[in-house]
Structure 1
Amino acid sequence: MAMTLRLTDEEAEALRMRAELEHRSMQDVARQAVREYIESHSRVDLLDRVLDEELPRYAEALERLGQ
């Protein structure tokens, strides 16, 4: 799926410099950044969901351990 990504001049220049430094295309660098963002936030979301679902089950035991 194709999309258009609008960057400020500063963002575009930073991306161009990063891509040049890594001998990669700007598109490759941007796509990797998107993948890393999604992966990172997916882990946080999963952890939050597990804690929300499982923590109440063990709340009493955790409270006792804290005493």
Structure 2
Amino acid sequence: MPIAPRLSDSEAAALRSLAERENRSLQDVAREAIREYAENRSRTELLDQILDEELPRYAEALERLGQ
């Protein structure tokens, strides 16, 4: 599904500048940025979930280590 995000003038200029420096299309740079954002967000959410599940199990040991 094609989308056309509305960028501010400064966002568009930054995207254009990056694309020119890397000799790539605006679309390629934008797609890569979105892909990286989604991957990083997924990793962060997974890490948060694991910490929420596992930290209580080790809370006492972590408390002692902090003393």
TM-score range, shorter chain: 0.7 to 0.9
- Output the amino acid matched with 2:19: A
Q: Write the distance in 1 (CA, Å) between the matches of 2:62 and 2:51.
A: 13
Q: Which runs of 4+ in 1 moved over 2 A?
A: 60-67
Root-mean-square deviation (CA, aligned residues, Å) is 1.4
- Output the amino acid matched with 2:40: S
| Residue in 1 that maps onto 2:20 | 20
Offset, 1:19 = 0.5
Q: How many residues align?
A: 67
| Residue in 2 that maps onto 1:37 | 37
Unaligned stretches of 5+ in structure 2?
none
Residues 2-55 of structure 1: CA distance to partner in whole angstroms, max 9, x if unpaired?
A: 111101112111111110111110010001011111111211111111010011
The two structures have a TM-score, normalised by structure 1, of 0.84
Label 1:9 to 1:66 Cα distance change in 2 as closer, same or farther (>3 A): closer
The two structures have a TM-score, normalised by structure 2, of 0.84
Give percent identity, aligned residues only. Answer: 69
- Output the amino acid matched with 1:47: L
